[in-house]
Amino acid sequence: MRRVLVVNTYNFQNMGEVLQVEALANILRGDSVSLASWYSYVDTAICDGLGISVAGNTRPPGKIALLAKAATSLARLTLYQQTGIAKPSGILKAYDDCDFVVDLGGDTFSDNPSPVYTLAHCFALLPALMLGKPYTVCSQSIGPFKTPVTRALARYVLSNAQSITARDPITYNYLKDNLSIATDKVSLCKDLAFFTERTAVPEAGLVGLNPSPLAHRYMGLTPDEYVDFVATLVEKLQQTHRVILIPHVYGPRHGLGKVANQDDRQVIGEVAKRVHIEAGTHEDIARCSAFVGFRMHACINAMSRGIPTVALSYSQKSSGLPTANWVKTIDIREGTATGLADRISAAATDMVSLPSDDRDVNWMRRETECHTRAVAELRALTHTELLGEYRRCAVGHASNAKTRLKGASGGVATSLVKCALSAGTADSAVLMDQTTMPPRPVSVTETSQLERCTGSAYCIPEDALKTMTELASRPDCVVVGLPCQVAALRSRFPDNTYVGLFCSHRVKENGIRFLLRHYQLAEEAVQFRAKADGNTGLLHPQGFFIPLKMYWNRFLNYCFIPRGCTRCHDLTAEDADISIGDAWGLSGTSELGLNAIVCRTHRGEELLNAALERGEIEIRDVSPADIVRTQRNYLLLKKGRLNFKLRVYSLLRAVGMGASQHRLLHPILHFWLAIAVRGRRLQGQGSVEESRVAASS
């Protein structure tokens, strides 16, 4: 189950937007869907019915309040990104929690009727951009953007989208030719609202007519003249048919920006004062034998029920409507009002008498395929693309308290190796002996030798892979390795069992020596992830301890990183049978340690099950999204999906790597360590052990 956030749906009083939300809910069935509302009119009853939760307001706040909220939200997100404090809450939490975002703008993403629409639309996507959440811009008519600011902003937001589904050819061409958006991102298909499954119970000779208070502007009429026009049209239709006026938009009276998005019932009320006419609701579309609509989604509502439709078009969005003998589009911007009324009533009369057997509604539904595909790609992207193939995801730890405590995270890697050796499924294990400086690869055949290999070796000899290749050539071998080691060894020895470690990057040996020298410690073997005093950190045999949050987060995360690691795209050992990492931030994490586990192959599953049966480990299943959450930033970094924070990190890392390469700049690094990275001497080795025992109890 993915967590999906829908943004930019503006008006639940517009049945077109409701249709689109319903269609999207169909596509997202099985996922957990929330709707973020900064400035929207949301109907919570409709959302409840569709299983959608709402974050934010259900009515637009005033302009000043909205601007203040936007400014504080962006400031808060920036602070959160840079410092980790000011954790997102409310609507921002919905962005932070989701796996991906669907921008369902409902109507159009453009400076028409006002640039405010573009600004608001782009703003709702900014948190997704800042948090590195992938998004699709779904089923919209896009452009034109008339001012330099809105154009630049829209181009930025659109070019960062994972995909865009254009619902009309004008949009497709505008994106390609005018905004230069990569064509492989954009697909052209029918409006998402066709994806809803609707039925009709037509009454013979009943014609539905949907007027719109927006239409008069496109016909060059005043509002009163437009009402007269609709009344004339009704009278013409009534000569041969029964007519019902059908509203599609029920409000609000005033929309975002200067243009009112008015209630269709206003026009209907005025027309009813001039002619005797039945006024219905949007649900009465199902009763019609033919339908005439000014609102595009009202027409789609009729078409998706197989009702012959005359669509009255006044903008580019209607250019995406299907063409069929039972669908006719008339441009209301052409010709005189009288001529138009004649053409519309003639078209409607033709439609009423059409036979019903050749109306292929499923054909239209199939034409919406690209929306489903865009969502499927986002689903895959969030998990498979970030994590690689997986069969099962879990968190867990070694059952043996000592193994858990000694382990880099929760001791699962050591427990799996122990299981493989003691169950006889492996004759030897290739591990990293951590009692030397630097740690070195060894082959282990006895479980009693495992303890010296437990822990994470952040630095290894440059020829480690060569030694591992020799050791892994033995038959029936289980190998624990970093993603790059697993990939290299798997291609040589595919029959081995591979336990991969998550890996952001390793550290050059001279980096560790630099660190030890700074604290005037002998350059000997250290534990990089010792657990002491309820903390995890570097423990030197002389009893000197530096918390991981200090020496890694503030120093080795930037300095002494091998260049190859900055080009590496695999964080989670995607070629392994089973991959193990740290379950940062997931519930159950304690100072004793908890592992994230990604089981990828049948062989990996067998090993995991054997370890469970033998009581070596305890696990609980989690979703792949949970695993992604534990490593989101490093994953995005490795997959090249850089948000603002990761761009800053990459820059600082380049500076740190440059400084660590040049001895002349080393005094700056010493100065940084002196002010930012504090270690402390524990009260003798005995107390280190005591603190561990205390932590385990």
Ligand X SMILES: Cc1cc2nc3c(=O)[nH]c(=O)nc-3n(C[C@H](O)[C@H](O)[C@H](O)COP(=O)(O)OP(=O)(O)OC[C@H]3O[C@@H](n4cnc5c(N)ncnc54)[C@H](O)[C@@H]3O)c2cc1C
For ligand X, the binding residues (CB under 6 A) are 407-414, 417, 431-432, 453-458, 460, 480-482, 485, 501-504, 506, 529, 580-582, 593, 595, 631, 634
CB of 474 to ligand X, least distance (A): 16
Stretch that binds ligand SF4, among 151-159, 313-321, 430-438, 478-486 (CB under 6 A): 478-486
Check residue 500 for interaction with ligand SF4 (CB under 6 A): no
Comparison of 313 and 572: residue with beta carbon closer to ligand SF4: 572
Stretch that binds ligand SF4, among 153-161, 361-369, 391-399, 479-487 (CB under 6 A): 479-487
CB of 578 to ligand SF4, least distance (A): 16
Check residue 506 for interaction with ligand SF4 (CB under 6 A): yes
CB of 87 to ligand X, least distance (A): 21
What is the secondary structure of 465-483 as a DSSP string? HHHHHHHHTSSSEEEEE-H
Comparison of 379 and 600: residue with beta carbon closer to ligand SF4: 600
CB of 484 to ligand SF4, least distance (A): 3
Distance CA 343, CA 355 (A): 21
Total residues contacting ligand SF4 (rule CB under 6 A)?
A: 10
- H-helix segments, 139-263: 148-159, 169-173, 215-219, 223-238
Comparison of 328 and 505: residue with beta carbon closer to ligand SF4: 505
Check residue 565 for interaction with ligand SF4 (CB under 6 A): yes
Reference 348, options 302, 381, 283; nearest CA is: 302
Residue from 339, 534, 564, 658 touching ligand SF4 (CB under 6 A): that is: 564
Stretch that binds ligand SF4, among 278-286, 338-346, 560-568, 578-586 (CB under 6 A): 560-568
Distance CA 447, CA 454 (A): 11
CB of 598 to ligand SF4, least distance (A): 15
Comparison of 455 and 679: residue with beta carbon closer to ligand X: 455
CB of 627 to ligand X, least distance (A): 10
Check residue 556 for interaction with ligand SF4 (CB under 6 A): no
Check residue 657 for interaction with ligand SF4 (CB under 6 A): no
Tokens 């169909």 label which residue?
A: 26
Comparison of 245 and 484: residue with beta carbon closer to ligand X: 484
Query: Measured between alpha carbons, how far is residue 462 from residues 124, 416, 435, 438, 439 in Å?
Result: 48, 27, 17, 10, 11
The per-residue b/e assignment along 170-196, b for 16 or more CB within 10 angstroms, e otherwise, is bbbebbeeebebeeebbbbbbbbbbbb
Check residue 439 for interaction with ligand SF4 (CB under 6 A): no
Check residue 459 for interaction with ligand SF4 (CB under 6 A): no
What phi and psi, each to the nearest 5 degrees, are found at residue 539? -120, 120
Residue from 42, 267, 420, 503 touching ligand SF4 (CB under 6 A): that is: 503
Comparison of 139 and 414: residue with beta carbon closer to ligand X: 414
CB of 433 to ligand SF4, least distance (A): 18
CB neighbours of 273 closer than 8 A, spacing ≥ 6?
none
Residue from 478, 484, 546, 636 touching ligand SF4 (CB under 6 A): that is: 484
Tokens 């951009």 label which residue?
A: 129
Residue 483 interacting entry, from ligand SF4, ligand X, none, C-beta within 5 to 8 Å by type? ligand SF4
What phi and psi, each to the nearest 5 degrees, are found at residue 50? -95, 0
Check residue 568 for interaction with ligand SF4 (CB under 6 A): yes
Reference 691, options 493, 534, 569, 551; nearest CA is: 534
Residue 511 interacting entry, from ligand X, ligand SF4, none, C-beta within 5 to 8 Å by type? none
Tokens in use for 469? 């290749």
What phi and psi, each to the nearest 5 degrees, are found at residue 524? -130, 180
| Sequence letter at residue 32 | S
Distance CA 531, CA 547 (A): 9
Residue 581 interacting entry, from ligand SF4, ligand X, none, C-beta within 5 to 8 Å by type? ligand X
Comparison of 334 and 470: residue with beta carbon closer to ligand X: 470
Distance CA 18, CA 33 (A): 15
Inter-residue contact 41 to 261 (CB < 8 Å)? no
Per the DSSP assignment, residues forming a β-bridge with 329 are 311
Reference 331, options 302, 310, 352, 308; nearest CA is: 310
Query: Measured between alpha carbons, how far is residue 529 from residues 430, 535, 536, 538, 582 in Å?
Result: 20, 9, 6, 6, 11
Residue 119 interacting entry, from ligand X, ligand SF4, none, C-beta within 5 to 8 Å by type? none
Residues at the interface with ligand SF4 (CB under 6 A) = 482-484, 503, 505-506, 564-565, 568, 570
